[in-house]
Homo-oligomer: A and B are copies of this chain.
Amino acid sequence: MVKANENFSKLKESYLFIEISGRINEFIKNNPDKPLIKMGIGDVTLPLAPAVTEAMKKASDEMGKAETFRGYEDSGRGYLFLRESVSGYYADIGVDLDPDEILISDGAKSDCGNLSDIFSSDNTVLVTDPVYPVYYDSNLMGGRNIVLMDSNEQNGFAAMPDYGVKSDIIYLCSPNNPTGSVYTKEQLQAWVDYANKTEAIIIFDAAYEAFIQDPELPRSIYQIEGARSCAIEISSLSKTAGFTGTRCGYTVVPKDIELSLNDGGKTSAYKLWCRRQSTKFNGVSYPVQRAAEAVFTKEGQAQVKKTIGYYQNNAKIITECFDKLRINYTGGKNSPYIWFKCPKNMSSWDFFDYMLKTIQVVGTPGQGFGKNGEGWFRLTSFNTSENTAEAMNRFEKMFYEMFQSS
């Protein structure tokens, strides 16, 4: 009989969102007259920008005419028009990239998972706890040893390098999912220095970079000196331009990054990634690539920034409430996520149930992202402004009542 990839047995079932739906459905059944405000979801809600849908429709028309039809994209790495647009987007923050080093894909999640193909299973992987589960699970599938580093209240949910811990591949996410924390330039410099000194590689997930408002905070790891020799950056248009259902992302693999071979030789991570993609991938839909290109035009940027501004304002409604109530939180200012400590030292799931029952607001229990998430909770800014304001009004009232009753 065909042997299974045994590593799949090590994966835990992902119960978090199933458990959340289960508890919600149970509540709705018993309380059909109490409408919920959902602030747990990590998905965008506003429509694509007009420039984006126009570009997609124009490209669809091109595909319908013999003169402008496009078949296979030669390289499968993305059309040059889009790679140049992304490279121009990086140039705006002072990062100089060869469009060749930017590879277009159907999204950050695919690249996150597939990148591990180019690494030996005999590498140690370092991820934070709490963590976006894809980093963990895709390396577990690949049979790699995984070491957890603590992101917690003490370090502001921004884990820093520990020279005592040996690792080869390090996953960093900033602005962070789920905690909303953002590394400063100094913190990221410490990580880049650590990676260069220990010959490790950082896989930097910049999916939420467009939410950074503070010009002092790095939006790309390539704003940090030395990153070109040790960092691969993954980003996407999912949060930048609402592409969660449209699917387009990009990964930067600098040509400088080297990997070791058993015979003592070296090979290039760039070369291996191109080979992986040309063997197991055939490029992104042409109309989607044109839609993505439109995001980076002047018109597109103005439109998507307006949408991000809307979510940022929602985040502000939440953080202003938390500031007023002196609740301990990270995120919100440069991130669509607000990660806060449950009142009265409640557990994440107890607080989930309490909010649901008391004010019908749904969030995500931090415990679902790792042991350090226990006692913490995530709200997102992707609902409407009206619902966000209403939810925070209810939250404030609930909060006062919690402490009055004690």
Contact = CB atoms under 8 A, between A and B. Distances in A.
Given A279-B141, A281-B109, A168 B47 contact: no
Interface stretch (A48-56, A156-164, A371-379): A48-56
A73 to B, nearest CB: 6
Interface centre among A4, A281, A283 (most CB of B within 10 A): A4
Contacts of A64: 47-50, 52-53
Contacts of A5: 117-121, 272
A286 interface: yes
Contacts of A47: 63-66, 69
A110 B61 contact: no
A280 B4 contact: no
A11 interface: yes
Contact of A60 (B45, B57, B279, B282): B57
Interface centre among A133, A247, A278 (most CB of B within 10 A): A247
A129 to B, nearest CB: 18
Interface string A371-406: 000000000000000000000000000000000000
Interface in A113-144: 113-114, 117-123, 133-134, 137-138, 141
A299 to B, nearest CB: 14
A8 interface: yes
Interface centre among A53, A118, A266, A285 (most CB of B within 10 A): A285
B246 A286 contact: yes
B57 A61 contact: yes
Interface stretch (A92-100, A186-194, A254-262, A360-368): A254-262
22 contacts: A1-B199, A3-B122, A3-B123, A4-B118, A5-B120, A6-B261, A8-B267, A8-B275, A8-B276, A9-B267, A11-B279, A45-B69, A47-B66, A60-B291, A63-B245, A69-B242, A106-B281, A107-B282, A134-B279, A141-B280, A246-B286, A247-B282
Interface of A: 1-6, 8-9, 11, 14, 43-50, 52-53, 56-57, 60-61, 63-66, 69-73, 106-107, 109-110, 112-114, 117-123, 133-134, 137-138, 141, 168-169, 199-201, 242, 244-247, 258-262, 266-267, 269, 272, 275-276, 278-288, 291
